[in-house]
Structure 1
Amino acid sequence: MPINTRISALRGRRREQETLDRLLRDVRAGQSRVLVLRGEAGVGKTALLDYLTEAAPAGQVARAAGVEAETEIAYSALQQLCAPLLGCLDRLPEPQRDALATGFGLSTGNPPDTLLVGLAVLGLFAEAASERPLVCAVDDVQWMDRMSEVILTFVARRLDSESVALIFAARSPGDERILEGLPELRVEGLPDADARALLDSVLPGPVDARVRDRIVAETRGNPLALLELPRGLTPAELAFGFGGHSATPLVSRVEEGFQRRVAALPADTRTLLLTAAVEPVGDVPLLWRALERLDVGMDAAAPAAVAGLIEIGTRVRFRHPLVRSASRRSAEPAELRAVHRALAQVTDPEQEPDRRAWHRAHAALGPDEEVAGELERSADRAMARGGRSAAAAFLERAAELTPDSAKRAGRALAAAAARFAAGALAEVPELLAAAELGPLDPVQQARVERLRAKVAFALNAGRAAGPPLLVAARRLESLDPTAARETYLAAIGAAVNAGRLGGTDLRRAAEAARGLPAGGEPACLLLAGLAAWSLEGHAAAVPLFTRALASAIPETDLDLVWLSGMVMHEVWDDVAFLTRTEQSVGYARETGALSLLPSALTFRATALIYAGRFADASDLLDEAEALGNATGSSPHPATAVILAAYRGREEPALELNEALVGNAEESGLGWLLAVAGYSRAVLFNGLGRYSAALEAALDAARYEDLAVLQWTLGELVEAAARAGADTVAAEARDRLAARTRVVDTNWARGAQALADALADPAGPVEEYYREAIKRFAATRLGLQLARARLLYGEWLRRENRRADARTQLRIAHEAFTTIGADGFAERAGRELAATGETVRKRTPGAREEFTPQEAQIVRLAVAGRTNPEIGAVLFLSPRTVEWHLRKVFTKLGIGSRRELASALRDG
């Protein structure tokens, strides 16, 4: 496509233009591309965005820019970007369409989950680009509101084959975490020759070459600095290089230059500039109406336009964002309040109630209950759109303007809750302290204590969280029994997480919790069960745990999944383990409660490991990690370590294990140390290195860690029996029996039969093995069944019953190979070879050529998921899913989904 003369005239930017040209070619060819332009203010990032958008296909450009005054207005930048694309909104799935419409205030509904909005924006871009390639450009990312940043980062990481270009411009130095991990292009100053030429174009006369060199060096080739700093200086002043060397940062000096130029303008023109700077949207009719209130005529714009500071066309556009900030910083407080007041007066209270409230708040000179109430209503609207940060900002300002101390305290408390919901934990304590300055009723005081406890647990769910949670729970007992119960549950959960590193915290928390009145709710039963488990042991807790699990519906279980998932192991409930974890994930997806999804995904992945579905477990862990990247909350690391151990690849498994140990010690999470020991035992048992497995299992089994001890005892019996430590094997078998005899499930009975077979060589060993296989075959625990067959086959071979051994070992080998448990598969293969059978290695086929993403999509397609459903699971647009499936069909030599399953069986 030909590039017009204006955009091709960028001086000294050939490298950057070539990069953008390649990006556009890729997008026209059907690929999606993301790029972050980073550079200091004035270096030319906006000019490069102009170059890109003017070279893009006509009619398929969407632009937005962060505005400093709107950093707290939820979705403000995102709504700018998506506005030209909303004609495609009706093509999205209903949950996504409703989430986006609610987030943008186009309709009312439940507050949308952030990631559901992200999926909607991803789908919107893909639908728009299905007609013609789409270029989206976002400037001044450093001033973008938090919700827009989260959503666009999420989308950028998932664009693939939609013909979308998403380009950001971010100021540097700045917060480098913004858009971290995305492809970047550093925009530096101009090369010396181009910088000198640009400088010469604005110099008022000849300047000594050495002085010119100094100016170029001092500005580091920054185009805006080269153009702006010499303005208004005489040749004599320039002879000393801008009046002498300055230690002031370059950006500040450029802004100071703009301030000088603003100060030289007529008073009415300065007012016009200030009004345009405060009004963030660039709405020209609104600007003129506000200026009319300020007795400023339209002719005031001429001096600013002549000075090259502003352009007023269909929208208001500043020469550079630094002009906007220079104008604001040049104004007196009274002038700024007058401008906000005028803007509030001309802003439609029906169409833009939140902006009107924000302007009124900044126009207020002192406490004003009417404005505070308006801000509180804006906070409610922001929360309804999912804008928790915006709601918090409205509430904070509302509290500042509230004359009544009791109301002020209540609004400060509401602001603290909104900041917590937005994940801004560091800002919550100060707001809680402000709330406590005013009179709080007992219910409000309970909310303060509860919120403080939640912050403590969110910041550190291990040893450090337990004591303050316990203190908070005790205070809450007389204020709010429900809040006290939940806080005790969190305190016990923290102590469980702390494990061996928590000292007596668990006992103290359990003893305190026992004083609460009993109840039949799942949380009450779970708390009672954990207290009994802590003080009386496993057997006493089992009935309470069983009742808690039976009474918990998926909605409630989702909130308690981090504990209930472990409790399922304590009662050996494989049915709940596999069905309830699936229900939790399904509920989170269906309701859009995606902020709770990482925990649900992690526990579901653990269940799938034991079911022998390693690939599916890996998919869920990838999804949890993607969620963590998008929200800033890391998924639980334990499951990935367990999966690596069962896969049996020693080096990566041990690397993950060591990282888990470091994480545990640093955060005071002793429970993770138990997981690390158990995982090493699994790894070494699979590799046939029984002495190493014994050492790891002995270390893990020294402590009564919730759920993990039961896993570990089975590994300890196997490692000890194979290592010749018969006494240790018998002791571990007996410890396991104390935990299995109080429940009646196939999982418990199978585990105990297997332990008896290993630890009692003089007993009815074959009977034990057959019982174990029978019990595990009645469950969906495919991994445990394969291990039972392996152990039985090994025993049969040692009994010289080779034909019988081959039967069991062949089934085990095939199962482990299919599952992906490479260590156990090799162990079964060695045993099978010892029986005289030749073990065939699998021949790589088309499926080995799949990329990880293709493999995920294939598994979901074979399971019957539609393209939109697969896209929702993997955070891809349906069009990207379709593109990947076409590539899969080509690799397999098929033409449709109907042939997929059979092609995979034959491959």
Structure 2
Amino acid sequence: MSPAPHDRARRLVAAAREAVATGQPHWVRELAARAGALTDDPALVAEASLRVGQVLTLSAEHDTALTLLTRAAEDPRLRRTAVGLASVAGFYSGDEDHRLAVRAQAQGDPWTLAVTDPTEARSERVAALPALVERADGDPALLNSLGAMAWLLDETALAVRIFDDALDRWRLRGTLPTGLGCTAGWAYLDHGLWAQARLAATNTASSVAGLPHLEAAVRSLEAAPLALTGRTAEARTAASAALSLVDPHRSRAVAVRARWALGMAAVAEGDQTTAYEQFRLLFTPDGDPVHYACSHAGVAELAAAAVRTGHHAEAAAIVERTEKRLADDPSPRMRALIHRAHALLDPSRAEPHFTSALADPAGRQWPFERAQILLDHAEWLRRAHRITDARPLLHTALETFRRLGAHPWTDRAQAELRAAGVDPAPTAPDALTSLTPQQQHIIRLAAKGLSNREIGERLFLSPRTVGSHLYRSFPKLGVTARSQLRDVLEASGQS
């Protein structure tokens, strides 16, 4: 309806900008192409490239996305946005050339630097986060990016708080943008909020039709809590589906996460051979990470499976290589995982490694991983005939596994307690984990003081439906009033 070609092009580019939120690459491409046929205005051409590149970050077309975003970055007005988006495409790709090309354009931008290498100058990036969050001024898109940055830097508790805020603000605006939620889901998983991780996957799954790469990301996220809770057949189905939807050599972030889930499913079943095979695939034949950020989290699991399958030397070399790679500024999480790996691989010098792995209170951000270290340490103590020392560690680990619903590890901790001369009480499911993911989310919001109407607005539910969920949940939690919910969450470690 715009008679002037330039105006028509300008409005088509604006339409492409809005269409990005739908996650439909073909639509954004069509709008951008129509605009390009009407004008050679460098600013409009650059923004059209930006918008197509932006929507392609949701796809497996990483090369094309990076080419378009690099072209858009030639416009000084769009440079920071384009380079930031290119870092996302490079992250999903995991390709070293992509990572280095984007990093070369960072020009000191903390987001791009963190996404392209979360291990370099980590403490400096962490120190910058509070000011960056304050400057975001409640913008949910910026907060979501900062939540991802915090998660990559292994500031998991902060990441969860930022994601909670960002997702709440998005919901108040209406429908969530396509693809939003996967990174938040991994932060929730790492922090022991497994129901929230499942809910993030479920909510994201409804918007990924026609986007195989994003569907694969969702399926890998679905697989992780299924594996950890012992639903191993479902976990393998989800993870295998993820790997079938992408080229594992071109979408390394998704492939590494899916293989981690397959490895954990094998551990849950006691199949250490398969576990080692899957964790070994997180690293190249030379022992470098397949994905520069996602592979490292599997290093301790690789060691644990190696000592049970006769691959001690190979795993030890990878652990040493990983430790050197992270030597300048490792996160508390990676320090703990590397100490756990060393303790498992060298039992004769295990105790100082176990002690170091558990020394930093920041480790409580990763309750499942911390409970695994406690369990490993207790097993080592029992084998050393230090039964009295092992028992309190086993009790603490068992309590965490029960709370999380990590049934295979609960069984293992109970077996260790029996071997240590203690008859553990029968496992009773944690009251909170007996609720559905949506009910757990409602409980968390109600514990923050939100009314049924406010909860409903955030979750797109009627106040009556929220009230019904609370009515059914209260007896399971053993409470009679909303004021008691915070105590329930604190007791479950989910406050």
What is the TM-score of this pair, normalised by structure 1?
A: 0.47
Residue aligning to 1:465: 62
**Residue 658 in 1 paired to residue 240 in 2?**
yes
Alpha-carbon offset, residue 429 of structure 1: 3.5
Q: 1:452 aligns with which of 24, 49, 52?
A: 52
Give the letter aligned to residue 339 of structure 2. Answer: A
Task: Give the direction of change, closer, same or farther, for the CA distance of 1:742–1:578 in structure 2 (3 Å limit).
Answer: farther
Residue aligning to 2:229: 647
Q: How many residues are aligned here?
A: 482
**Residue 802 in 1 paired to residue 399 in 2?**
no
C-alpha separation in 1, matches of 2:29 and 2:259? 37
C-alpha separation in 1, matches of 2:430 and 2:333? 36
Higher relative contact order (Cα pairs below 8 Å, separated by 6+ residues): 2
Residue aligning to 1:817: 402
Give the letter aligned to residue 496 of structure 1. Answer: F
Give the letter aligned to residue 176 of structure 2. Answer: S
Residue aligning to 1:507: 97
Task: Give the direction of change, closer, same or farther, for the CA distance of 1:811–1:882 in structure 2 (3 Å limit).
Answer: same
Higher Cα Rg, which structure: 1
Q: 1:617 aligns with which of 191, 197, 208?
A: 197
Task: Give the direction of change, closer, same or farther, for the CA distance of 1:862–1:695 in structure 2 (3 Å limit).
Answer: same
Give the letter aligned to residue 37 of structure 2. Answer: L
Give the % identical residues: 25
Structure number having the greater helix percentage: 2
Alignment of 1:197-276 (within 5 A): none
C-alpha separation in 2, matches of 1:892 and 1:496? 41
C-alpha separation in 2, matches of 1:493 and 1:848? 33
The DSSP-based 3-state class of the residue aligned with 2:461 is: coil
Give the letter aligned to residue 784 of structure 1. Answer: E
**Residue 487 in 1 paired to residue 82 in 2?**
yes
C-alpha separation in 2, matches of 1:670 and 1:803? 45
The DSSP-based 3-state class of the residue aligned with 2:228 is: helix
Residue aligning to 1:759: 345
The 8 Å contact of residues 299 and 337 in structure 2, kept in 1 or not, is answered as no
**Residue 552 in 1 paired to residue 132 in 2?**
yes
Q: 1:726 aligns with which of 312, 323, 327?
A: 312
Task: Please list the CA deviations of residues 110-165 of structure 1 after superposition, one character each: whole Å capped at 9, or x if unmatched.
Answer: xxxxxxxxxxxxxxxxxxxxxxxxxxxxxxxxxxxxxxxxxxxxxxxxxxxxxxxx
C-alpha separation in 1, matches of 2:430 and 2:337? 37
Alignment of 1:93-492 (within 5 A): 398-399=1-2, 402=3, 404-420=4-20, 425-458=25-58, 460=59, 462=60, 464-466=61-63, 468-478=64-74, 480-492=75-87
The 8 Å contact of residues 196 and 437 in structure 2, kept in 1 or not, is answered as no
Task: Give the direction of change, closer, same or farther, for the CA distance of 1:580–1:863 in structure 2 (3 Å limit).
Answer: closer
The DSSP-based 3-state class of the residue aligned with 1:447 is: helix
Task: Please list the CA deviations of residues 451-510 of structure 1 after superposition, one character each: whole Å capped at 9, or x if unmatched.
Answer: 33234334x2x2x232x33333443354x12424433443443233233xx5xxx41563
The 8 Å contact of residues 608 and 616 in structure 1, kept in 2 or not, is answered as yes
Q: 2:424 aligns with which of 811, 822, 839?
A: 839
The 8 Å contact of residues 115 and 152 in structure 2, kept in 1 or not, is answered as no
Give the letter aligned to residue 36 of structure 2. Answer: E
Alpha-carbon offset, residue 423 of structure 1: 5.4
**Residue 882 in 1 paired to residue 472 in 2?**
no
C-alpha separation in 1, matches of 2:99 and 2:356? 41
Residue aligning to 1:789: 374
Task: Please list the CA deviations of residues 510-546 of structure 1 after superposition, one character each: whole Å capped at 9, or x if unmatched.
Answer: 33762x4825xxxx33334556x4xxxx765647755
The DSSP-based 3-state class of the residue aligned with 2:348 is: coil
Task: Give the direction of change, closer, same or farther, for the CA distance of 1:447–1:891 in structure 2 (3 Å limit).
Answer: closer
Alpha-carbon offset, residue 425 of structure 1: 4.3
C-alpha separation in 2, matches of 1:642 and 1:893? 29
Task: Please list the CA deviations of residues 529-565 of structure 1 after superposition, one character each: whole Å capped at 9, or x if unmatched.
Answer: 556x4xxxx7656477557746532739954678766
Residue aligning to 1:392: none
**Residue 607 in 1 paired to residue 202 in 2?**
no
C-alpha separation in 2, matches of 1:649 and 1:862? 29
Give the letter aligned to residue 782 of structure 1. Answer: P
Task: Give the direction of change, closer, same or farther, for the CA distance of 1:834–1:894 in structure 2 (3 Å limit).
Answer: closer
Alpha-carbon offset, residue 824 of structure 1: 1.2
The 8 Å contact of residues 568 and 576 in structure 1, kept in 2 or not, is answered as yes
C-alpha separation in 2, matches of 1:497 and 1:845? 36
The 8 Å contact of residues 279 and 298 in structure 2, kept in 1 or not, is answered as yes
The 8 Å contact of residues 776 and 782 in structure 1, kept in 2 or not, is answered as no
C-alpha separation in 2, matches of 1:729 and 1:856? 39
Task: Give the direction of change, closer, same or farther, for the CA distance of 1:560–1:723 in structure 2 (3 Å limit).
Answer: farther
C-alpha separation in 2, matches of 1:475 and 1:662? 31
The 8 Å contact of residues 449 and 475 in structure 1, kept in 2 or not, is answered as yes
Residue aligning to 1:150: none
CA RMSD of aligned residues (A): 3.9
Alpha-carbon offset, residue 792 of structure 1: 0.6
